[in-house]
Amino acid sequence: MVEHRELTMKNILVVDLEATCSDDGTIAAEKMETIEIGACWVDGDGIVIDRFQSFVQPVLNRRLTPFCTNLTGIQQENVDAAPQFHVAAELLRQFVDRHRTASSTWCSWGAYDRRQIERDSVLHGIVQPIELPHQNAKRLFAKAQRIGKEIGMAKACQLAGLALEGTHHRALDDSINVARLFPWVFGERSLKSQISS
């Protein structure tokens, strides 16, 4: 296991995805498809040094549900005009390669994004676009802050005293908000000291 402190000393890629979804069971979890990719490279000081965003056109459920549109704000025309996953994944791969070093890792808030990339890569018959070790920032945050359970990114920001930047459930904005949580994810700051200050 890589020590938290060591992770802060290298470039870290943060990735967040939005995917097709429903609130009535019409889209099963294993049939969800990425509809937006957001990513940012963060340097050892926690500064965002580059950003990536792409909408993605789904192929299994081409029509977004009203629930999905209301949750994400992503419109049907956004995905209709977007590249399919294999093209967006290649753009993401180029973005990853732009700043990767031998010690780079990537992280997401939870394991969902890693699994979704795996599913989409299998569906489209491509090699996964991120070939770096993955870190679960949600789990690291819970462990570093000794809060006992994993919580959502918005709740973590609230506990850390950070107002959400941008729009929640939009991929790039969420990836940047995850990056802003790094001092707490890697144990450099404590929620206890935040609450008492």
**Global pTM?**
0.92
Please tell me the distance from the alpha carbon of residue 122 to that of residue 136, in angstroms, as a whole number.
21
The Cβ of residue 51 has, within 10 Å, a number of other Cβ atoms equal to: 14
pLDDT above 90 (res 45): no
How many of the other CB atoms lie within 10 Å of CB of 63? Answer: 12
Mean pLDDT of all residues in 56-66: 97
Distance, CA of 177 to CA of 111 (rounded, Å): 17
- The mean-pLDDT minimum among 6-15, 43-52, 76-85, 100-109 falls in 6-15
- pLDDT above 80: residue 135: yes
- The stretch 83-93 carries a mean pLDDT of 98
pLDDT at 7: 45
Give the DSSP H or E segment for 49.
strand 48-55
Residue 194 has a pLDDT of 54
Indicate if the pLDDT at residue 11 is higher than 90: no
Query: Given a cut of 50, is residue 157 above it in pLDDT?
Result: yes
Secondary element (H or E) of residue 121: helix 112-124
In which residue are the tokens 């959502």 written?
152
The CA distances from residue 149 to 16, 141, 160, in Å, are 21, 9, 16
CA distance 110 to 71: 19
34 phi/psi in degrees, rounded to 5: -60, 135
**Least confident among 62-66, 95-99, 192-196:** 192-196
Tell me: pLDDT of 24 over 90: yes
Closest CA to 107 of 56, 40, 62: 40
Q: What is the mean pLDDT of residues 150-170?
A: 97
Q: Which domains does the chain have, with CATH numbers?
A: 4-196 (3.30.420.10)
Name the one residue in this structure whose structure tokens are 């950070």: 162
